[in-house]
Amino acid sequence: MLRFLKQYWFLVALVLILLAGFGFHATLSPWTELVPRRAIVAGVLFVMALPLDLSTMWRALRYPGPVFLSVAINYGVLPPLAWLAADLLPSELGTGLIVMAAIPCTLASASVWTRRAGGNDAVTILVTILTNLACFLVTPFWVRLLTSRELAIDVTPMATRLALLVVLPILAAQLLRMYRPAAAWATTRKLALGVVAQVGVLLMIALGVVRSGVELNAQADSTAFGLMSWLLMLGLVVLLHLTALMLGHLIAAGVGMHRADRIAVGFGGSQKTLMVGLDVGLEFFNGLAILPMVAYQVAQLLADTVIADRLRRRERPPLSLSPEVCGQSVKKR
């Protein structure tokens, strides 16, 4: 039991937060106003970026094809696909699906799963940095373009907020890494910093779930969010993630990229960072918009763990028999 909790504590905590947030939203709602959301977002992204060693990026820059392909899928393919799928959902959930597809690649886990699968993690590190630094331009562009039929969004506040809460913390973390003792400290405590970041993500999810519960309770047309709507949303986020992942693998294979780069393109092109999506959803939309983002995060956690392990097992060479064993086999015959 302890081993299970140690390995899957984030998912267990996520389930408990979802149950508590929806079940006790009326009690918890006043307390959410006291939480410094901006400080949490900036702090989590700073902590996520601090262990990243940008020196590894130079390996990826020597052959930038996988990086460009990953960014193209993550920022260029997923948003239009989400826009097509959004029409199948109630408007609030459809908007959340679009926002989810327009946010950058995750700083927390893309390189971890790539490394776990035997891929080129230098590619995913560079992809996460590039997509996060560009999010203050790309995310507002896609959100404004793809939601223009239902919403009139001023992209300037969104771009400014993303620049302050995402770009600046990442740059500050990398500037701090130029001080070698700080870089060494962050590198040796990568696991602990990751746990701190995940706790911050859980806190942001709690804020969003409580707001979602309040808004669901206040809606007279509650039939718009029946069981089929939730199941369809879950199916669509899984389909979008797996489509982007497989598309990355197939295109990379089609242009002749090495196996390690194909793996990196798959994960880098399909993963999304929950922290940025939560902030955009809570600040500019209603609480229901965060639900597709939470679902996507759970989907990539579960699916990519299985996929990474399968890819790692395929990489292992088959067992070979030593000359002595072969000789013994011949004698037995």
CATH number for the domain harbouring residue 244 = 1.20.1530.20
In a domain, 197, yes or no: yes
In a domain, 3, yes or no: no
Range with the poorest average pLDDT among 82-91, 296-305, 315-324: 315-324
In a domain, 123, yes or no: yes
In a domain, 2, yes or no: no
In a domain, 162, yes or no: yes
- Write down the H helix ranges in the chain: 2-23, 25-32, 37-49, 57-61, 65-71, 78-86, 91-102, 110-116, 121-133, 135-146, 155-162, 168-177, 180-188, 190-218, 227-254, 259-270, 274-284, 291-315, 323-332
Does 66 score more than 90 pLDDT? yes
d(CA 142, CA 140): 6
Mean pLDDT, residues 159-168 taken together: 88
In this prediction the pTM is 0.80
- Secondary structure letter of residue 108 according to DSSP: T
Instruction: Indicate the number of domains in the chain.
Output: 1
> Do 277 and 103 meet the contact criterion of CB atoms below 8 Å apart?
yes
In a domain, 274, yes or no: yes
pLDDT at 315: 64
pLDDT at 241: 96
Does 316 score more than 70 pLDDT? no
Answer with the residue of higher pLDDT: 321 or 8. 8
d(CA 235, CA 299): 10
Contacts of 326 (CB under 8 A, 6+ apart): none
In the numeric block, which tokens belong to residue 188?
């040796």
- Per-residue burial over 144-178, b = 16 or more CB atoms within 10 Å of its CB, e = otherwise: bebbeeeeebebeebbebbeebbbebbeebbeebe
d(CA 81, CA 240): 7
Domain of residue 197: give its range. Answer: 12-215+224-308
d(CA 329, CA 308): 36
d(CA 245, CA 266): 4
Does 224 score more than 60 pLDDT? no
Mean pLDDT, residues 222-246 taken together: 85
Tell me the pLDDT band of 6, cut-offs 50, 70 and 90: confident
In a domain, 244, yes or no: yes
Tell me the pLDDT band of 280, cut-offs 50, 70 and 90: confident
In a domain, 327, yes or no: no
> Do 80 and 155 meet the contact criterion of CB atoms below 8 Å apart?
no
Answer with the residue of higher pLDDT: 37 or 247. 247
Mean pLDDT, residues 208-225 taken together: 68
